[in-house]
């Protein structure tokens, strides 16, 4: 029988419900704050903020998602207008102070942790992918400025960006160069006053021009001209801050010759303009050192990649919610195992095992991905502390391309299942799932395609650390197994642990095999990379599903000892017994139905470069 009271069941008219129970479960039970933590980790306060963000996402963003898609952005006389409701939502967001949530108090921010920021980032993108991009880009620009900018730049720009009066962009891509930043042609010449003249064209600049902020601050990768230090490739690139409007006599209104010369017609994300920008000897200010722009850019990029992983997770979550709602209410055919709802002319879709297979697939990708992203954001909080533990940094570095690459790839699958569950109606605009499918498709492309993530993972992060990062993760797998040896006889948990144990041995083994081949021929790394990333992603999610199931089982076992204990859980019923039971059932589904995919990826990647001939 469809469970209409499920926390995931949508009420009439409400199109998105923030997964607060699951987030509370992760924050309180699966990844409780480490005792060594120094920043404010009061989870009650965090949950309070989270609830406010949830309300904003549900009421202000999810509700306008389809409207923004239909209306799109307009370019007139060099000025882009957003869909009116998008403009209003952004202004509300800025005024409520959300932009500075995880940024320093010194500049007007609220200095919250990434672990909170990660959840909130997911809520925004689930509710409205197009909306979420501008805040994410602005926050990343602020972080680059904080890490690499001069005091003067910080003082001039940070406060206004953090309060959302101004927004930021990231200007890397040019028409002839996407993944290959070394080909950048945009140039910069030093002025006598220490500033630079930036000249060139950039494409694919999200929110490069729009009408929801007073000024737009572009971080532009460019090549210093006539500089004795300038070099070819990415090592000759510098990062410049180039405002749309610059300061003159205390007023920020001077035209800085930054032009939006076109916006793209694209498949989705219509609520966010993708701009072609022209810098016509615009005044720019160096961020960091000359010719070391790529370092500052990578610092931004890693964070953007984790942010993009949230888009994959949010896509799975929203696809799941819409699909579950439809599967519970749409009646079609009778259950193969006998009529389930005799009072109806047909049974609801959810009685069909194949429909549940698709729903569960979406659910395990959303919740498993969420656990991975939460773990990464806690690592980010920890590595932001002084005395950074190198092992933790390496682990975060390795998990970042997995989170980005894997979670966005499976996000596309979730969106496709949403269409499939809706049948022909999924192809029609009205149900909204086709928008998810279109909008989400960008996530495996920008901030480095899946192919780029895969090369980064295998080449730089795993083989490049002689496997140390990988060993950090497999150590966690061993620890999970050891710490829970008392559950080895539990019929469900025992199976998960023993499967995980095999993978913790196999993963380093196959890595060594590929590494050995790649030493002889680097193309072997390229040939294995994508399947390696997917293989790794399935195992990593397996770890987090096992960890969630063990946590749930442990809590349920306590309840067996004391029937009252659920009422006494830290959050007084923030999550239900049903959530705990579902965690175990969902983990079993993951290990039975999804994790076996690792096997075919393993066979594919071990088959090597030989069969990838140019035989076209």
**Alpha carbons 98 and 163: distance in angstroms, whole number:** 8
Closest contact distance (angstroms) between CB of 533 and its own copies is 10
Place of tokens 């980032």: 121
Residue list 218-257, contact with its own copies (CB under 8 A): none
Pick the closer one to its own copies by CB: 143 or 270.
Answer: 270
Pick the closer one to its own copies by CB: 445 or 476.
Answer: 445
Residue 91: both structure tokens together: 């202004």
Nearest partner of 153 among 195, 197, 192, judged by Cα: 195
CA distances from 530 to 462, 467, 605 (A): 14, 17, 8
Q: In the 8-state DSSP scheme, what is residue 609?
A: S
Position among 129, 218, 223, 363 found at the interface with its own copies (CB under 8 A): 363
Residue list 79-98, contact with its own copies (CB under 8 A): none
- Active-site option among 174, 447, 509, 574: 447
Residue list 484-543, contact with its own copies (CB under 8 A): 521-523, 525-527, 529-530
Q: In the 8-state DSSP scheme, what is residue 564?
A: T
455 scored as a contact of its own copies (CB under 8 A): yes
In three-state secondary structure terms, 84 is helix
Closest contact distance (angstroms) between CB of 88 and its own copies is 25
3-state secondary structure string across 140-163: HHHHHHHHHCCHHHHHHHHHHHHC
326 scored as a contact of its own copies (CB under 8 A): no
Tell me how many residues contact its own copies (CB under 8 A). 96
Closest contact distance (angstroms) between CB of 204 and its own copies is 5
Place of tokens 């969420």: 370
Residue 447 falls in the annotated catalytic set: yes
Closest contact distance (angstroms) between CB of 426 and its own copies is 7
Residue 409: both structure tokens together: 């790839």
126 scored as a contact of its own copies (CB under 8 A): no
- Any residues with CB less than 8 A from the CB of 351 and at least 6 apart, and which? 334, 335, 340, 341
Place of tokens 């909204």: 432
Pick the closer one to its own copies by CB: 17 or 41.
Answer: 17
- Considering only 108-116, 218-226, 388-396, 423-431, which stretch makes contact with its own copies by CB under 8 A? 423-431
Place of tokens 């060099």: 78
Residue 117: both structure tokens together: 């920021």
**Alpha carbons 412 and 410: distance in angstroms, whole number:** 5
359 scored as a contact of its own copies (CB under 8 A): yes
Closest contact distance (angstroms) between CB of 8 and its own copies is 6
- Considering only 163-171, 383-391, 446-454, 546-554, which stretch makes contact with its own copies by CB under 8 A? 446-454
51 scored as a contact of its own copies (CB under 8 A): no
Check if the beta carbon of residue 457 is closer than 8 Å to that of residue 449.
no
Nearest partner of 171 among 41, 284, 78, 337, judged by Cα: 284
Pick the closer one to its own copies by CB: 60 or 174.
Answer: 174
Pick the closer one to its own copies by CB: 128 or 276.
Answer: 276
Pick the closer one to its own copies by CB: 193 or 430.
Answer: 430
11 scored as a contact of its own copies (CB under 8 A): no
Closest contact distance (angstroms) between CB of 198 and its own copies is 21
Pick the closer one to its own copies by CB: 65 or 450.
Answer: 450
**Alpha carbons 383 and 393: distance in angstroms, whole number:** 6
Q: In the 8-state DSSP scheme, what is residue 273?
A: -
CA distances from 504 to 345, 406, 476, 508, 558 (A): 50, 19, 9, 7, 29
339 scored as a contact of its own copies (CB under 8 A): no
Residue list 263-292, contact with its own copies (CB under 8 A): 264-268, 274
202 scored as a contact of its own copies (CB under 8 A): no
Residue list 580-609, contact with its own copies (CB under 8 A): 581-582, 585-586, 588-589, 592-594, 596-600, 603-604, 607, 609
Catalytic residues: 447
């Amino acid at each position: 029988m469809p469970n209409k009271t499920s926390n995931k069941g949508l009420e009439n008219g409400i199109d998105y419900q923030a997964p607060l129970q699951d987030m509370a479960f992760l924050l309180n039970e699966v990844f409780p704050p480490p005792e060594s933590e120094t920043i404010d980790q009061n989870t009650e306060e965090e949950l309070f903020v989270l609830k406010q963000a949830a309300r904003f996402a549900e009421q202000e963003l999810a509700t306008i998602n389809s409207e923004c898609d239909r209306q799109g952005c307009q370019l007139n006389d060099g000025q882009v207008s957003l869909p009116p409701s998008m403009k209003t939502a952004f202004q509300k967001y800025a005024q409520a102070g959300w932009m500075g949530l995880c940024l320093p108090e010194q500049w007007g921010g609220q200095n919250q942790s990434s672990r909170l920021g990660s959840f909130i980032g997911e809520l925004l993108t689930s509710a409205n992918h197009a909306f979420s991009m501008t805040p994410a880009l602005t926050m990343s620009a602020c972080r680059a400025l904080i890490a690499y900018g001069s005091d003067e730049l910080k003082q001039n720009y940070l406060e206004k960006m953090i309060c959302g009066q101004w927004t930021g962009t990231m200007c890397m891509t040019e028409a002839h160069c996407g993944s290959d930043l070394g080909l950048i042609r945009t140039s910069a010449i030093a002025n006598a006053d220490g500033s630079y003249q930036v000249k060139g064209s950039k494409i694919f600049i999200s929110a490069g021009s729009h009408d929801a902020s007073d000024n737009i601050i572009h971080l532009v990768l460019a090549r210093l001209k006539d500089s004795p230090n300038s070099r070819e490739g990415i090592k000759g690139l510098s990062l410049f801050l180039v405002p749309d409007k610059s300061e003159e006599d205390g007023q920020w209104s001077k035209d800085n010759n930054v032009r939006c010369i076109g916006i793209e017609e694209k498949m989705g994300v219509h609520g966010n303009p993708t701009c072609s920008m022209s810098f016509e000897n615009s005044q720019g200010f160096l961020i960091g050192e000359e010719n070391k722009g790529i370092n500052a850019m990578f610092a931004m990029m890693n964070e953007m990649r984790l942010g993009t992983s949230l888009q994959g997770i949010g896509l799975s979550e929203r696809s799941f919610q819409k699909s579950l709602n439809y599967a519970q209410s749409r009646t079609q055919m009778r259950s193969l195992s006998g009529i389930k709802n005799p009072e109806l002319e047909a049974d609801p879709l959810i009685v069909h095992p194949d429909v549940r297979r698709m729903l569960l697939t979406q659910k395990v990708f959303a919740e498993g991905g969420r656990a991975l992203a939460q773990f990464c954001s806690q690592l980010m909080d920890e590595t932001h502390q002084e005395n950074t533990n190198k092992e933790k940094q390496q682990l975060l570095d390795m998990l970042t391309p997995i989170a980005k690459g894997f979670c966005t790839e499976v996000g596309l699958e979730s969106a496709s299942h949403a269409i499939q569950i809706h049948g022909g109606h999924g192809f029609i605009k009205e149900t909204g799932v086709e928008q998810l499918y279109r909008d989400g498709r960008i996530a495996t492309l920008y901030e480095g395609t899946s192919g780029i993530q895969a090369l980064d993972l295998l080449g730089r992060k795993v083989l490049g650390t002689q496997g140390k990062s990988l060993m950090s993760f497999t150590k966690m797998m061993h620890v999970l197994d050891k710490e829970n040896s008392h559950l080895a006889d539990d019929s469900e948990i025992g199976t998960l642990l023993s499967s995980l144990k095999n993978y913790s041995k196999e993963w380093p083994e196959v890595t060594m095999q590929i590494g050995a081949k790649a030493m002889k021929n680097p193309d072997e790394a390229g040939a294995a990379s994508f399947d390696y990333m997917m293989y790794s992603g399935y195992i990593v999610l397996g770890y987090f599903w096992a960890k969630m199931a063990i946590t749930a089982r442990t809590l349920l076992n306590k309840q067996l000892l004391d029937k009252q204990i659920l009422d006494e859980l830290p959050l007084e019923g923030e999550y239900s017994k049903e959530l705990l039971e579902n965690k175990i059932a969902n983990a079993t589904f993951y290990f039975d139905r999804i994790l076996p995919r690792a096997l075919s990826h393993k066979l594919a990647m071990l088959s090597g470069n030989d069969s990838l001939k140019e035989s076209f």
